[in-house]
Amino acid sequence: MAKRIVIDPITRIEGHLRIDCEIDGGKVTNAWSSGQMWRGFELILKGRDPRDAWVITQRFCGVCTTVHAITSVRAVENALGLEVPLNAQYIRNLIMGAHGVHDHIVHFYHLCALDWVDIVSALKADANASAKLGQKLSPWKRNSYEEIKGAQARLQALVDSGQLGIYGSGYWGHPAMQLPPEVNLLAATHYLQALEYQRTINKVVAILGSKTPHIQNLAVGGVANAINLDSPATLNMERLYYVKTLIDEVNDFIKQAMLVDVAAVGAHYAGWTKYGAGVTNYLSVPDMPMDTKGASFTLPGGYIPKGDIGKFTAISSFKDKFFADNVQESIKHSWYDGDWTRHPYEGETVPKYTDFEDNGKYSWVKSPSFQGEPAQVGPLANVLCMFAAGHEPTKRYATQVLDTVSSLAGAKVGVEALHSTIGRIAARVIRCAVLNDTLAEQWTALVNNIARGDMATFNQPVFHNGVQQGFGYHEAPRGTLSHWVIIENGKIKNYQAVVPSTWNAGPRNGKDALGPYEASLLGNPVADPARPLEVLRTIHSFDPCLACAVHMVDRNNREIVNVRVL
Amino acid sequence: MDILVLGIGNALLGDESVGVKAVEELGRRYVFAPAVELLDGGTAGMELLAYIRNRDVVLIIDAMRFDAPPGAIGRVEGADVPAAFRNRISPHQLGLSDLLAAAMLTDELPDRLVLFGVEPQSLEPGFALSPPVAASFEKLLAAVVEELRGLGVDARPRTGSETEPLPAATPWAYVQNNASGSPVGKEPA
């Protein structure tokens, strides 16, 4: 008989995710993805000055601050038909790229790796064997015996302290953990190193964005960075060279540690290339504009229906009609009043809570569709679209990872293996390598443009009476993000954000088709329903916002906290 | 002494914004000597590692559920702070829990860690604090200032003649509503 499991802590940040699964014969036979928190943030924006929207939208989510800020200014600029100076594009691109690299490193090592890497096993590993393996796999300079032994000692100290924190809620020793001890230790060593590198690359965001976690330098019409190569108070050569140093510093880690680690995990968990494909309609948008209009991009994007790379259609500009006309959201299964499928410009946010109804309404998340179908977004969609568009760096890193997996696994693993749980994780690392190369290019483009004497960073926006509408998009770390704004007499009349986690975590759509999370869980193995590690692996592979941290927390096992009431 | 005052919470969700409002307001009212870093951490997680690592003192201000009446202020110290976030008594426990666990792993936890938590009433979207939380806002600021003074930090009210610039107000800044006498968030004109 089917058994139902509910995984429901998760996080408030991107809407408190709850996953329900029916399990029969050791496999998931039905699934529901439910956002448990109402996000009426769009209502806050009504009546406000469109120039302030980005400051507010960057507070939507704790992890995705920068991406909502950038998408918001793009939406307003699109509505006004406003171009932005080249320097502003490059500076924004550098911020976006650095944020993306930071986010991908944190996801791979700190939010997802512990589903696959067993720390208990790492503690038992022979550090010498780990170092030898590391040195065989890659030239990474920090695979020495001393480094690895030191990491092992630090992990041991944490375990001995008894204060495991998030690490205590992992599934250590679970039968689905399959890496040999020396691989576990090598990955755990890189886990510690990754804490440093995510910080390094985030400094780029802080320098150019004036501040993290919430950048301050954006403006509708450009950026607020003043450029004067000789002034210590502005963006100058010294700062720019520092930015370049930071980009270079993380480069070897990504190419020599992270790309190798994901291949090693993939090779040892090759069975996971068969699970988790789910929805294989892939949507991504182009990004890193190289002109003032947003008609020429470094990174391509588009739409692939039904996993067929040959049927790729490119999305080519910030005004792209194919994108703008084909996005819809349905509320048939969402806790909003009515049953409609509409374009975001016509979207409404009128809450109407019912109970959790398996066949009715069961989520606060709306269900987006592209050309009437659910679509998967995220690094896998992006990598497949860039691959389809013939983007050389993407092809190079994808081939490198697949070749390493093939050689470690002793069997040929091709691009088709990417349509899977483990493929989704590999794609994120491939995208991270592509992004870091892009950062170096954007840096050069910025410096060359400044050298030509162009110091412009801002075009003044002008608001006219009447109605203007527009949209902005961004290929964010979790996938395609779009904001849709209607401005009336200089004030916001309607604002809708269609976020990556909505595309992936959305419930069944207006035609009852399963959303990407739901579909990806069907057929997923579950060895022990009481410890559903395999379900978490597939959900985590999407990078639900902030771990949508299905780090399971046992509410019945609370620690005593001493609170002094003031 | 290297001190960080970290306000956390979602600025758009009513009482969840209390920590963010508090650090902003502290910066607008006082000049601290020696200087103290005031940081609006929003709901960020691992991104904050660079800010908390190796500090002498980190004071966190946040909404916190501890089964007290709305507006009640609780003070948690030392090893109980990571435990409080692990127990999910803060609405954004996970980010902070990850962050503190990472700092523990790298042995970079601040020497002294104190959490000031305010029991929330409403987490509905909006900039304003609920009446009970708004009513204890002054008490919250006073508690943090007292903690800082206990650490040897002089908190001098701004007179307008300082060289340090007054930080710009955010759309969710704490505003005193003169008509009702109660503080509210700034709503659109």
- Confirm whether A563 is domain-assigned: no
Instruction: Give SS3 for A6.
Output: strand
| pLDDT number for residue A310 | 96
Q: Give the one of B50, B89, B106 whose C-beta lies nearest to A192's C-beta.
A: B106
Q: How many CB pairs under 8 A join A and B?
A: 159
Chain A CA closest to residue B6 = A213
Reported as a pLDDT band with limits 50, 70 and 90, residue B181 is: very low
Q: Which of B169, B106, B25 is nearest to A154 (CA)?
A: B106
Domain of residue B136, residue span = 3-158+173-184
Q: Give the one of A38, A55, A546 whose C-beta lies nearest to B170's C-beta.
A: A55
Percent of chain B with pLDDT over 90: 51
- Confirm whether A566 is domain-assigned: no
Stretch (H or E) spanning A24: strand A17-24
| pLDDT number for residue A127 | 97
| pLDDT number for residue A169 | 53
**Total number of domains constituting chain B:** 1
Q: Give the one of B44, B64, B97 whose C-beta lies nearest to A165's C-beta.
A: B97
Q: Do the chains contact at B46 and A61, CB–CB below 8 Å?
A: no
Catalytic residue, from A501, A508, A518, A534: name it: A501
| pLDDT number for residue A548 | 34
Q: In A, which residues are within 8 Å of B89 by CB distance?
A: 561
Q: Give the one of A40, A163, A547 whose C-beta lies nearest to B94's C-beta.
A: A547
* ∠ CA B126-B131-B132, rounded to 5°: 120
Reported as a pLDDT band with limits 50, 70 and 90, residue B152 is: very high
- Confirm whether B148 is domain-assigned: yes
| pLDDT number for residue A164 | 62
For A462-512, how does the pLDDT look when each residue is reduced to its tens digit (9 = 90+)? 999 999 999 999 999 999 999 999 999 999 999 988 888 889 999 999 999
Q: Is the dihedral of CA A199, A382, A426, A399 positive or negative?
A: negative
Chain B CA closest to residue A549 = B94
Q: How far is A150 from chain B (nearest CA, A)?
A: 11
Q: Do the chains contact at A52 and B171, CB–CB below 8 Å?
A: yes
Phi, psi (rounded to 5 degrees) for A4: -105, 130
Chain B CA closest to residue A41 = B125
Mutate to test the interface with A, among B66, B98, B99 (most CBs of A within 10 A): B98
Mutate to test the interface with A, among B10, B46, B48, B122 (most CBs of A within 10 A): B46
Count Cβ atoms within 10 A of the Cβ of residue A368 and give its class: 0-12 exposed, 13-18 middle, 19 or more buried: buried
| pLDDT number for residue A37 | 67
| pLDDT number for residue A8 | 67
Q: How far is A558 from chain B (nearest CA, A)?
A: 6
- Confirm whether B144 is domain-assigned: yes
Domain of residue A121, residue span = 3-557
Q: Do the chains contact at A558 and B87, CB–CB below 8 Å?
A: yes
| pLDDT number for residue A194 | 96
The DSSP call for residue A4 is: E
Q: In A, which residues are within 8 Å of B127 by CB distance?
A: 44
Which ipTM was obtained for this model? 0.88
Q: How far is B1 from chain A (nearest CA, A)?
A: 23
Whether A432 is a known active-site residue: answer no
Chain B CA closest to residue A46 = B188
Phi, psi (rounded to 5 degrees) for A216: -120, -5
Q: In A, which residues are within 8 Å of B143 by CB distance?
A: 566
Q: In B, which residues are within 8 Å of A200 by CB distance?
A: none
**For residues A82 and B86, which has the higher predicted lDDT (pLDDT)?**
A82
- Confirm whether A564 is domain-assigned: no
Q: What is the DSSP string of chain B?
A: --EEEEEES-TTBGGGGHHHHHHHHHHHHEEEES--EEEEEET--GGGHHHHTT-SEEEEEEE--SSS-TT-EEEEETTHHHHHHHTT-STTHHHHHHHHHHHHHTT---SEEEEEEE--S--SSBSSPPHHHHHTHHHHHHHHHHHHHHTT-EEEEP-S--SSPPPPPPTT--EE-TTTSSEEPPPP-
**Total number of domains constituting chain A:** 1
Q: Do the chains contact at A559 and B86, CB–CB below 8 Å?
A: yes
Q: Is the dihedral of CA A353, A359, A364, A370 positive or negative?
A: negative
| A24 CA to centre of own chain | 31
Instruction: Give SS3 for A491.
Output: strand
Mutate to test the interface with B, among A64, A562, A564 (most CBs of B within 10 A): A562
Q: Do the chains contact at B171 and A55, CB–CB below 8 Å?
A: yes
Q: In A, which residues are within 8 Å of B100 by CB distance?
A: 165
Rounded Cα gap, residues B87 and B97, in angstroms = 9
Whether A478 is a known active-site residue: answer yes
| pLDDT number for residue A9 | 54
CATH number (domain holding residue B68)? 3.40.50.1450
Single-letter residue type at A286: P
Catalytic residue, from A16, A68, A74, A483: name it: A68
Chain B CA closest to residue A555 = B87
Q: Is the per-residue pLDDT at B180 higher than 70?
A: no
CATH number (domain holding residue A191)? 1.10.645.10
**For residues A160 and B98, which has the higher predicted lDDT (pLDDT)?**
A160
Q: How far is A566 from chain B (nearest CA, A)?
A: 5
In sequence order, what are the residues at sequence separation of 6 or more whose Cβ sits closer than 8 angstroms to the Cβ of residue A50?
A76, A79, A220, A463, A485, A487, A490, A491, A492
Q: Do the chains contact at B105 and A63, CB–CB below 8 Å?
A: no
Q: In B, which residues are within 8 Å of A566 by CB distance?
A: 73-75, 116, 139, 143
| pLDDT number for residue A553 | 30
Q: Do the chains contact at B76 and A562, CB–CB below 8 Å?
A: yes
CB A51 within 8 A of CB A219: yes
Q: Give the one of B40, B80, B87 whose C-beta lies nearest to A214's C-beta.
A: B40
Q: In A, which residues are within 8 Å of B41 by CB distance?
A: 213
Whether A545 is a known active-site residue: answer yes
Chain B CA closest to residue A169 = B86
Mutate to test the interface with A, among B86, B137, B187 (most CBs of A within 10 A): B86
pTM above 0.90, yes or no: yes
Q: Which two tokens stand for residue B161?
A: 């003649």
| pLDDT number for residue B186 | 43
Catalytic residue, from A21, A61, A112, A432: name it: A61
Q: Give the one of B45, B86, B189 whose C-beta lies nearest to A546's C-beta.
A: B45
Q: Which of A259, A329, A315 is nearest to A282 (CA)?
A: A315
- Confirm whether B168 is domain-assigned: no
Q: Which two tokens stand for residue A431?
A: 């995208």
Rounded Cα gap, residues B170 and A114, in angstroms = 38
Stretch (H or E) spanning A50: none
**What angle, rounded to 10 degrees, do the helices at A421-451 and A259-268 form?**
170
Weakest mean pLDDT among A363-372, A440-449, B48-57, B178-187:
B178-187
Q: Do the chains contact at B74 and A563, CB–CB below 8 Å?
A: yes
Q: Do the chains contact at B83 and A203, CB–CB below 8 Å?
A: no
| pLDDT number for residue A544 | 80
| pLDDT number for residue A560 | 66
Single-letter residue type at B187: E
Q: Do the chains contact at B41 and A213, CB–CB below 8 Å?
A: yes
- Cα B89 to Cα A240, B132, B133, distances in angstroms: 42, 19, 17
- Confirm whether A385 is domain-assigned: yes
| pLDDT number for residue A491 | 96
| pLDDT number for residue A110 | 84
**Which residues, given as ranges, of chain A have pLDDT below 70?**
1, 8-16, 37-39, 62-63, 163-170, 172, 545-561
- Confirm whether A472 is domain-assigned: yes
- Confirm whether A436 is domain-assigned: yes
Q: Do the chains contact at A213 and B106, CB–CB below 8 Å?
A: no
The DSSP call for residue A481 is: E
Catalytic residue, from A21, A112, A385, A545: name it: A545
Q: In B, which residues are within 8 Å of A553 by CB distance?
A: 86, 88
Cis peptide before A525 (omega within 30 of 0): no
Give the number of other CB atoms < 10 A from CB of residue B77.
13
